[in-house]
Amino acid sequence: MFSWSNSHHQKIRDDRRYLETRARRLLQSYLTSSELQKQQYYQVIAGAAAACQPGVSDPSLDNEKLAGLTAEVATKVVKRRIRQAKDEYDHSAVLITDAFATVAIAYRRAAAAYTANKEMEQLGTAAVHLVTIANSFMNAESEQTTIQK
């Protein structure tokens, strides 16, 4: 039990260090954006979420574990992008990194990792909502394109 709790707290510390600021920045920007800009956010976020889906077909894994794996993949992407960042003033690059951070926070929340930290749980809930909206928007766009063909 103690080792689980210790690793659990370490993940929250890492999330606060690498993900929190980026996810908050994206969420704030999203809230003040125009409708056209929101569509761009949806594209980037849905793309990040799709890119992080683990290629695991193990039927014994429950949703919580799958969400945890997805969060780990997204977190690794953020850390890699931070290390390789050449120009942190490149809006597109920052947006992509922030989108992966938001996806990581959302899936970590879905994996119930923030139950002991209410502030991160609230951020995670907002991130889950945005990822859900982005995926729904992109699915509707895809269906509309298919119908028009």
What is the per-residue pLDDT across 25-80, written as a single tens digit (0 to 9) for each?
999 999 999 999 999 999 999 999 999 998 777 777 788 999 999 999 999 999 99
Residue 97 exposed, middle or buried by CB count within 10 Å (0-12, 13-18, 19+): buried
What's the rounded mean pLDDT across residues 107-129?
95
What's the rounded mean pLDDT across residues 117-144?
94
Contact indicator for 23, 99 with CB cutoff of 8 Å? no
- Give the pLDDT of residue 5: 62
Asked whether residue 88 carries a pLDDT value surpassing 80, the answer given is: no
Residue showing tokens 């509309």:
144
Pairwise pLDDT comparison (82 vs 56), residue with the higher score: 82
- Give the pLDDT of residue 149: 58
Asked whether residue 4 carries a pLDDT value surpassing 60, the answer given is: no
pTM of the model: 0.90
Residues near 138 by beta carbon (within 8 Å), at least 6 away in sequence: 42, 43, 46
Residue showing tokens 């996810």:
23
